[in-house]
Amino acid sequence: MPVTIGQTPDAGFDQPLKLLSDCHRRIEKFLNILIHIAEERRGDALDSEHRDALEAALRYFKNAAPWHTRDEEDSLFPRMRQSDDPRVRAVMKQIDALEDDHVAADAQHARVEELGRCWLVAGRLDTSDVTALRNRLVALRETYRRHIAEEDDMIFPLAGEVLSGSQLNRIGREMAQRRGIDPDRPSPRCRHAQNHPGRAN
């Protein structure tokens, strides 16, 4: 199960809303990797391919995915909340609920991280831990399925309509800076962050 982490996304930081959607594709990808490993190995010993894939997926959700949450909660959502557009006012409760999803997902990921690291260290997981891992991954899949659909289909398109070009530019710059990337470089992209350990979003 080879895992390619450094794919070039379609968008750069000059297209922050598209880049946020690109990040959703990576969340889906790494979550599917975790689910695949849990279902295929069922706590048994990991071969080198499964081990590498498990480590890559855990690293993504621990080190890189939190940047995506900050992109939304620190850069995108606050600017949407400043808008007087009635369409934005109408979705404020949904935006609040999306932030609640982040909190719930973080709690699930913390347990997945713990169980995944135990698996890597011990070489195996007992039946109860396998069940706990699979239950949390299923819960995350359902949360992300709804959460991502709401953002990709409604929140991000709306943001593209109500936020100004200067606001979107500032969001993109903040996203780049969050990853330690110079926003003034020509067409900076996520892949530049992927050349360093722990930078994959």
DSSP state of 84: -
- Residue 18 confidence (pLDDT) above 80: yes
pLDDT tens digits, residue range 121-165? Answer: 999 999 999 999 999 999 999 999 999 999 999 999 999 999 999
Q: Give, rounded to a whole angstrom, the gap between the first and last alpha carbons of the chain.
A: 21
Q: Tell me the C-alpha distance between 120 and 134, whole Å.
A: 16
How far apart CA 129 and CA 200 sit, in angstroms, is: 28
Topology classification of domain 16-179 = Four Helix Bundle (Hemerythrin (Met), subunit A) (1.20.120)
Q: What percent of the chain has pLDDT over 90?
A: 84
- Do 14 and 92 touch, CB atoms closer than 8 A? no
What's the predicted TM-score (pTM) here? 0.85
Coil, helix or strand at residue 14: coil
The one-letter amino acid code at 94 reads: Q
